[in-house]
Amino acid sequence: MTALLVLWLAAAAAPTADASALATPPAAAAKPSEPAPTADPGARAEQASSLYLAGDNEGAARAWRALVDEGWESAGLHFDLGNALLRLGHRGRAIASYLRALRLDPGDADAQANLELARAQNVDRLVGEAQPPLHVRVLARTPDGAALALFGVSWSAFWLLLWLRGRSSRSARHWLGPAALLAALLAVGGGALLAGKSAERRTPSAVVIAPATPVREGPSRTLKPAFELHEGTTVQVLEAQGDVARVRLLNGLEGWVASADLEVV
């Protein structure tokens, strides 16, 4: 725990969002006729960093949140926002921000360390919580771009190798055939990763942001709560009906909670 705290303090002291790391928001590309923001996003991120270093965590969080709400996205931006939120005591929202940072950069050691630090304060200790299956862990560690690149490159290589095999000498065909087979297997793996990413989007993760939220066996609020979930607990959103959502915990328990008590990752 001491090591994690030291790492968090070191990481929190140096905000990381910058102009070059911010991806162009889809909304800006889809609606070129709309007026551009009054300030450059890189400059706004630097202003937020200055506020954070000056101790104005609320102002920094507000500035970074505005960039996120406009569609700007990077692992560093979500990491910085998470640090500010954690210092403000919004632990659930901070966890959601760290999870977004890790979705974009699964190898971000600072985001992982701060996520573990924030989760260490969780009230809920799930009985029967099982380790995620191997394919779920692989999906979590694979960026979206890497899955897309694996499929695209291997699929193209497969057809190129087949084309070359049909126009090569008999001796060359001995290695072109196995190479094409390997490319096909990699394409299947890349396709499986893309399918898994698509399934993740249909049932996204969410974090409880309310101090406590009652969990009921159905969507009606007149039902007696079966149990409570507390801030920082991560759930999977299975469906939504009006202002409630059906969620599943990591140990398999399911129930209905108020959507306003969740922040979708």
Please give the single-letter amino acid code of residue 120. A
Reported CATH class of domain 205-264: mainly beta
Would the pLDDT of 32 be above 50? no
Which is it for the CA torsion 200, 202, 208, 212, positive or negative? negative
Higher pLDDT, 210 or 130: 210
Task: Answer for the pair 248, 263: CB distance below 8 angstroms, yes or no.
Answer: no
Q: What number of other Cβ atoms are within 10 A of residue 5's Cβ?
A: 12
Q: Which CATH number is 2-119's, of 1.25.40.10, 1.10.3720.10, 2.60.15.10, 3.10.105.10?
A: 1.25.40.10
Would the pLDDT of 76 be above 90? yes
Q: What percent of the chain has pLDDT over 70?
A: 79
- Residues 143 and 102: their CA atoms lie apart, in Å, by 9
Q: pLDDT of 79-132, one tens digit each? A: 999 999 999 999 999 999 999 999 899 889 999 999 999 999 998 876 555 556
- Residues 206 and 259: their CA atoms lie apart, in Å, by 10
Count the helix, strand and coil residues of the chain and give each as a percent rounded to the nearest 5: 55, 15, 30
C-alpha distance from residue 136 to each of 66, 112, 139, 197 (Å): 31, 17, 5, 10
- Residues 9 and 133: their CA atoms lie apart, in Å, by 33
Average pLDDT over residues 67-71: 94
DSSP bridge partners of 237: 247
C-alpha distance from residue 135 to each of 11, 142, 259 (Å): 30, 11, 28
- For residue 256, what pLDDT band results from cuts at 50, 70 and 90? very high
Would the pLDDT of 19 be above 80? no
- The pLDDT of residue 16: 54
Question: 54 in helix, strand or coil?
Answer: coil
To the nearest 10 degrees (0 to 180), the angle between helices 57-69 and 41-53 is 160
Which is it for the CA torsion 39, 43, 47, 48, positive or negative? positive
